Structure 1
Amino acid sequence: MIKKWIKNIGPGPLVAAAFIGPGTVTLCTLAGVHFGYALLWAMVLSIVATTILQEMSARLGVVTQKGLSEVIRTEIKHPLFRKLCILLVLSAIVVGNAAYEAGNISGSVLGLETVFKNYSISVGGLNLNIFSFIIGLVAFVLLYVGNYKVLEKVLVGLVILMSVAFLITAIITKPNLVDVFKGVFTPTIPDDSIFTIVGLIGTTVVPYNLFLHASLVKEKWKFSSDLKYARRDTIIAVALGGIVSMCIIISAAAIQYQRVGNAADLALGLEPLFGRYAKYFLALGLFAAGITSTITAALAAAYVATGCLGWSTDLKSPKFKAVWFFILALGVLFSSLGIKPIEIIKFAQAANGLLLPVIAGLLLWLMNKKSLLGDFKNSLFQNSIGLLILIVTLFLGLKSILKVFELV
């Protein structure tokens, strides 16, 4: 039975790994430090929304054997509206992922530097971080192999390492279980917490994951009869990803002072609890979170670009490889130089804020097309939950855009 279960592990863990990046680790850390267990309910809400949307995306991929961007391109008949949607998707996902890739690689570097010292070389007056190139090379090799099964096994292994690291960290802090359950089941909005809540939900319900999932499931499953495996894979993986995020919040809540500013400081804050081993647990978690997000972000951008432009979505296609290599190379460059492409990231945040409700709306529309999905289209219950999520994502999208332009 266990052997059969392992055999049917699909892209779910990759999707979970994609949303647990360095940004999520840092945001969950700050949520725990500043608000204790009070915002755990927001993570639960995020996981429910993510599970519903990712299940729809997976069902679309298995039944149609196409990626989400391919389906959008073929199903939207109005030329102008189709071009606008494709432009928005390309801008937010491809340009956005190029900007965020530097953060993913930097997060993985941060994990290594927590244990090892900073290694850099000077070239033409520029200081280049060696770890950025090493991580970029690891990601390049895994992506270049172009074998989904190899990629899946490596990333699943890293996700397990990341999960164990943060889970052990949370257990060692000996949290008050009554307070934890209260934070999970009792929604509260402490003073100055609204943007943290928006951030926790926004960093979990990730637009590019919907594209990534629909494209990856068709590599794993070819028949509608496999939907039960895809659904189980999605629910378990996203739930475990949520537990990891909650463990980070619980770990950070153990810190009794407010001087923690980012995920790296968490190791220092936890040293009184379990001594010199703190940095090793955290380093492992940060490294795994960074490298998995580095690979999945580049992979998602490649699937989106090739699907939108009508190119081959085969992992070994030259054009497919060219897209992910471009995204990865930019990330390595920005990370090694320590450059933060603020304006690009602001654009990416604004575009993603607008993209999330648009994609959620398009996904709901597609999931109700009998001509596309037949008997596998959404039920009334699924539409009701989807509509509620759409309203929430619209609210989050507006908040994200207003925050980027400092209007709120």
Structure 2
Amino acid sequence: MIKKWYKNIGPGPLIAAAFIGPGTVTVCTLAGVGFGYSLLWAMALSIIATIVLQEMSARLGIITQKGLSEIIRTEIKNPVFKLFAIALILSAIVIGNAAYEAGNISGGVLGLETIIGNKNINFDGFSFNLLSWFIGFVAFFLLYLGNYKVLEKVLLFLVILMSFSFLFTAVITKPDVLDILKGVFVPKFNDTSLFTVIALIGTTVVPYNLFLHASLVKEKWQNIDDLKYARKDTFVAVFLGGIVSMCIIISAASIQAAEVNNVADLAKGLEPLFGNLAKYFLAIGLFAAGITSAITAPLAAAYVACGCLGWSNNLKSNKFRAVWIFILILGVLFSSFGIKPIEIIKFAQIANGILLPVIAGFLVWIMNKESLLGQYKNTIMQNILGFLILGISVLLSLATLNKVFDLNFF
């Protein structure tokens, strides 16, 4: 039975690995420190929204055997709207992932530094971090192999490692189960927590995962009968990913510290209360979160760019490799030299903020096309959930623009 289960594991764990990056870990940490268990319901809502959208993406990939960016290029007939959509997608995913890649690698570095200390080297007036290059090399090696099965197994191992690390840390803190259940099922928020709620949803419902999932399912499954495995894979992986995020919130809620800005600070804060084990498990979890996102972000960017531009999306094709190598090199350099490309990140936030409702809307529209999906088009219930999530994505978009431009929407 375990062998059959393992055989039918698909890209679900990779999708979970992609959304539980250092950004998600940091937001969950701050949510726990600032609001205790009271925002767990926002993560539960995020899990439901992510499952609904990722199931649509997986279904689209299996039925059509095409990636989402390929379908956008072929299904949008108006040339002006098509050009706008492709430009927005390339800006948000390719340029955005290049900016965020430094954060992914830096997150992995923070985890390692919590355990083994700082490994900066000074050379001719420059200071660079050896651990950034180590994580970059590991990501490069795995992606250059161009073997989906190897990539899947390595990321599955890292996701399991990350899951156990954060789960064990949460258990060590001996949380009150009744308070946790209240946090999950009794929504509470006010003016001070509204933006944190939006941030929790925004770090879980990730635009590039919709592209990544549709492209990866066809690497695993080519038969329509396999749709049931893809749905189970999506549900289990995203649900467990959400549990991991909740465990971070629960762990962070156990300490009262004003100087917690990321999970590395949380690890140090937990050490005097719960011993070295808490610190090490959190650090390992952060390292796994950083390195998995450092692999999936360039991979997603390559799939998106190739789909939008009509290139081959074979893992070993030169153009496919050129895209992810470009993203990875930028990430390593920015992380290693401690450069914070603020303007690029702001641009990426704006583009991603606009992209999410556009892609959610397009996905719901395309999932109702009988000419493309036949009997596998959306049901009435799937459409209702899809439109609810579309409304949430518009709110997220406004929140992102509000944050970048200080528009005082909220």
CA deviations 1:210-237 (Å, max 9, x no partner) are: 0000000000000111000000000000
Q: Is the contact made by 1:143 and 1:295 (CA closer than 8 Å) also made in structure 2? A: yes
Once the two structures are TM-superposed, the CA of residue 89 in structure 1 deviates from its matched residue by: 0.3
CA deviations 1:310-358 (Å, max 9, x no partner) are: 0000000000000000000000000000011111001101110100000
Q: Is the contact made by 1:52 and 1:386 (CA closer than 8 Å) also made in structure 2? A: yes
2:32 maps to which residue?
32
Q: Is the contact made by 1:35 and 1:190 (CA closer than 8 Å) also made in structure 2? A: no
1:406 maps to which residue?
406
The DSSP-based 3-state class of the residue aligned with 2:204 is coil
Gaps of 5+ in 1: none
CA deviations 1:65-124 (Å, max 9, x no partner) are: 000000110111111111110000000000000000000000000001001121122233
For 1:320-339, what aligned pairs fall within 5 Å after superposition?
320-339=320-339
Aligned partner letter, 1:19: F
Q: Is the contact made by 2:172 and 2:278 (CA closer than 8 Å) also made in structure 1? A: no
Instruction: Give RMSD over aligned pairs.
Output: 0.8
2:386 aligned with 1:373, yes or no?
A: no
CA deviations 1:152-179 (Å, max 9, x no partner) are: 0000000000000000000010001111
Gaps of 5+ in 2: none
2:117 maps to which residue?
117
CA deviations 1:103-153 (Å, max 9, x no partner) are: 000000000100112112223311010000010000000000000000000
Cα distance in 1 between the residues matched to 2:260 and 2:144: 38
For 1:308-387, what aligned pairs fall within 5 Å after superposition?
308-387=308-387
For 1:257-276, what aligned pairs fall within 5 Å after superposition?
257-276=257-276
| Structure 1 ranges of 4+ moved more than 4 A | none
The DSSP-based 3-state class of the residue aligned with 1:9 is coil
1:189 maps to which residue?
189
Q: Is the contact made by 2:73 and 2:86 (CA closer than 8 Å) also made in structure 1? A: yes
Aligned partner letter, 2:263: A
The DSSP-based 3-state class of the residue aligned with 1:167 is helix
For 1:56-205, what aligned pairs fall within 5 Å after superposition?
56-205=56-205
Q: Is the contact made by 2:207 and 2:359 (CA closer than 8 Å) also made in structure 1? A: yes
Aligned partner letter, 1:300: A
Q: Is the contact made by 1:315 and 1:321 (CA closer than 8 Å) also made in structure 2? A: yes
The DSSP-based 3-state class of the residue aligned with 1:371 is helix
Once the two structures are TM-superposed, the CA of residue 263 in structure 1 deviates from its matched residue by: 1.2
Aligned partner letter, 1:92: A
Cα distance in 2 between the residues matched to 1:76 and 1:256: 51
**Percent identity over the alignment?**
72
Aligned partner letter, 1:232: K
The DSSP-based 3-state class of the residue aligned with 2:240 is helix
Once the two structures are TM-superposed, the CA of residue 278 in structure 1 deviates from its matched residue by: 2.2
Cα distance in 2 between the residues matched to 1:16 and 1:303: 17
1:23 maps to which residue?
23
The DSSP-based 3-state class of the residue aligned with 1:198 is helix
Q: Is the contact made by 2:170 and 2:248 (CA closer than 8 Å) also made in structure 1? A: yes
Change (3 A) 1:99 1:191: same
Q: Is the contact made by 1:172 and 1:273 (CA closer than 8 Å) also made in structure 2? A: no
**Paired residue total:** 408
Once the two structures are TM-superposed, the CA of residue 191 in structure 1 deviates from its matched residue by: 4.5
TM-score (norm 1): 0.99
The DSSP-based 3-state class of the residue aligned with 1:128 is strand
Cα distance in 2 between the residues matched to 1:262 and 1:81: 40
1:14 maps to which residue?
14
1:42 maps to which residue?
42
Aligned partner letter, 1:186: V
2:289 maps to which residue?
289
Cα distance in 1 between the residues matched to 2:257 and 2:319: 50
